[in-house]
Structure 1
């Protein structure tokens, strides 16, 4: 910043719309306590720097910009005399040490009237005490309204997640109930068959049958998944074997045996353990054992799924964790994807390209999960239920990069610079508040000192979040 102090003239200040109603005494005080400075083309102050001065343009051309992601987005360019900027809120309680909310540069040699922030605050309180109270009321009222709207955004997201979680939990819970009911019937059948064995022609083979039952249960537990073609071929082979050995309606038994991973070698073992007369009854008795084990597997899988979902919900909400801590970002991403799986739907393919060598980083986990939720939700909405969502992590210089890519139609270049603005949304009325990306930007940039940006062409939109590897917790 190249600057040069110059004389302050009361007559010049009086021609500005901002000061035209002031008395001669007030104008004299402005000149006495302020100063006129001339700046060469280049930056005057940067967004985030301590807001030490209030600026009023006297002559020249200025450009105001805001940082969005890694880019500086121009928000105003003007040569209008009297345009003011800088420490605009210095006179309000709690904002004395506020940083500049934008960046200022000049494109040609320009002159500004400059007031130190504390002087500007004192003058406002001395000359316009009632106006200061009114402005404070409007500002803090607006902040309260913004807070309420943010809370509504979070509640809407929570409601959506709750509905998805309820749906996801209902499926395994219903499967467990269904399997338990069927298991009760199969256990009754087993008891009946066992009574028949005890007094029937199978009695002499009891020990062999019990051994077969145990080994069969072990094989079911270790069964591996088969492709549809492999399962079909195996089912045909089992049905043929059963028909060849006189087992009636063998094709009905074959499907269950294939599901359990049993092949003709197992049937050979059964045939070797009992005589031909007992073979049919023995296989049917063992089929009850197989069905019982399959039902137990289904119950185990269902309850494991419920536990996994509840664990993801706990991880997502971080109810048992500190608000700021060193965390594996992949745990946050996985818990968010689990929580949103119902909303993502079966038509969207999710690809994870994680760099598991990345270090843990200090973050606000609950807040980052809100960012992931907003970005995933936007990606799924853009793809209208069909496409590919790619979640990628990598090390980008001294930052951790998290990228969300979707195969939707892309973001129109004409609106790309506005997507992080509060209340801007392309969703239909009632389906979006326009705060998701604004909240995400503030969490990433203000809370974590990172950046968020977007690259988009039709069929390939990527939101990139960069987070520093080391950061101290701050409140904004």
Structure 2
């Protein structure tokens, strides 16, 4: 075919009467058809050529005249075929051209290949959008409402999802902080009483003109017993009860009233009958009662200070986990250790995970840091752990595992022992608004948000495998920065 024949055929294809044969243009007026014919052009593509590529600027609206097209899209790191068609008149490309004025930076949403030699009629998207709004104002308003409304609803639900997660974690953090804070307050009140008791018993010893050498020995005994508190062996409930009975009998035999009340304070410090014999021998029968009570107060004081230290350490650890989780004191994009984010997320979700879920951590601590938005990754860990716990009905084993992949990436795996995900749901699990939770318990955006964070923001991959008793979500993240993720 020579050039003149090719031009003649293209002219025939774009004549208004030929365009009217396409279902897309059959209802246009003659004037509208004339405009389409004048502004469109015919393009040919050889077999295997890419007509458009996903992510490129959406500049043209295409209508198939001849041949067969294949449509694909990137899904979890793989190119998946969505459709193939040879129906004359089907369209693709910048299909949201009516929004070109409001959204000038539109991108193609899929890749289109020529499965055979193809002929397509193409129109410039911006010009077509302007003309479409002029020709069909009501249809334009309806389409804009459909597109914009759907996008706005999705944004609102996504924000709501984040706020609900934040509220849940805030409630959990408040509950976790309340326990050690209350324990510290109780221990402080008891400590005040014990210190007052120590002062009283010391005054009694001084009132009886105790020998200074004896008081010095008594203080030495006190220091020795206090040091033993931290290293005292852990006793079982039966062993502790037997030891208390032995000490109570000794105290009763030596005429010390309320020995049953003193014994529980002496046992945790590792005090035995042999120790009591040594104390009695050091101070004598005259001061044994006052001395033992003073020593008991000293031991109780040390124990209470230990409780306060534990409680305040717990509060500090929780606040550190909250700071790590929220990343409020760090740059948004940096190299991070995924284990820190995983640990802080587990701490923040401890109350929601519950006591009947066994958490197993299998970390490869040799893994290097990765370039990431740590706050956003923590949101991914939150979504995956929350789903895993829900899938197990808050009873089972939650496994958090980190490994290196063969192609040089870090893999984080969140596994659960729930009932599994049915095969028909696996194909839709990352779709927005798709959820298997009961009405009102899930928005269906948790995994969609997680997928966007992992794939779009970090150029990684999010996969899932599932069978009854073994469901695993795998997050794969590159160790080297390939392309700086966009801030949008």
Find the aligned partners of 1:262 and 1:110 in 2 and give their Cα distance.
Answer: 93
- Residues 37-52 of structure 1 aligned to structure 2 (within 5 Å): 37-40=44-47, 45-51=52-58
Q: CA RMSD in A?
A: 3.1
- 3-state DSSP class of the match of 1:67? strand
Long gaps (5+) in structure 1? none
Partner secondary structure for residue 274 of structure 1: helix
- CA shift, 1:236, in A, is 2.7
- How far apart in 2 are the matches of 1:258 and 1:369? 45
User: Which residue of the partner structure matches residue 184 of structure 2?
Assistant: 176
Decide which of 379, 389, 405 is 1:380's aligned counterpart: 389
The one of 414, 420, 441 aligned to 1:431: 441
From the CA coordinates, give the structure whose radius of gyration is larger.
Answer: 2
2:108 alignment partner in structure 1: 100
Give the Å deviation of 1:80.
Answer: 3.8
1:179–1:244 Cα change, 3 Å: closer
**Judging changes above 3 Å, is the alpha-carbon distance between structure 1 residues 256 and 28 closer, same or farther for their aligned structure 2 residues?**
same
Deviation by residue 1:314-371 (Cα, 9 ceiling, x = unmatched): 2222222222222222222122111111111111111122222222222222222211
* Closer/same/farther in 2, CA of residues 313 and 123 from structure 1, 3 Å limit: same
Q: Bigger CA drift: 417-426 or 390-399? A: 390-399
- 2:419 equivalent in structure 1: 409
Aligned to 1:35: 42
Partner SS, residue 418 of structure 1: coil
Q: Does 1:211 align with 2:220?
A: yes
CA distance in 2, matches of 1:333, 1:176: 28
Report how many residues are paired. 466
Q: Greater CA deviation, 287-296 or 41-50?
A: 41-50
Tell me what 2:361 maps to: 352
Q: If the length of structure 2 is used for normalisation, what is the TM-score? A: 0.85
2:58 matches 1:56 = no
CA distances 1:140-171 after superposition (whole Å, capped 9, x unpaired) = 44433322221111111111112111211111
1:188 aligns with 2:193: no
User: Aligned pair in 2 of structure 1 residues 89, 449: CA closer, same or farther (>3 Å)?
Assistant: farther
Find 1:456's aligned residue among 456, 466, 472: 466
Shift of 1:412: 0.6
**Which one of 132, 136, 145 corresponds to residue 153 of structure 2?**
145
Secondary structure of residue in 2 paired with 1:349: strand
Instruction: Please say if 1:14 is aligned against 2:14.
Output: no
Q: CA deviation at 1:390?
A: 1.1
Q: Of 130, 133, 150, which residue of structure 2 is paired with 1:128?
A: 133
Alignment of 1:112-127 (within 5 A): 112-115=119-122, 119-127=124-132
1:85 aligned residue = 92
Give 5+ residue unaligned stretches, structure 2. Answer: 1-5
2-structure distance, mates of 1:67, 1:203? 88
Q: Is the 8 A contact 2:399 2:414 kept in 1?
A: yes
Residue 316, structure 1, aligned to residue 325, structure 2:
yes
2:239 aligned residue (230, 233, 251): 233
CA shift, 1:177, in A, is 1.6
Distance 2:19 2:235 in 1: 84
The alignment partner of 1:226 has SS state of: coil
**Cα–Cα, structure 1 residues 191 and 24, in superposed 2: closer, same or farther, change >3 Å?**
same
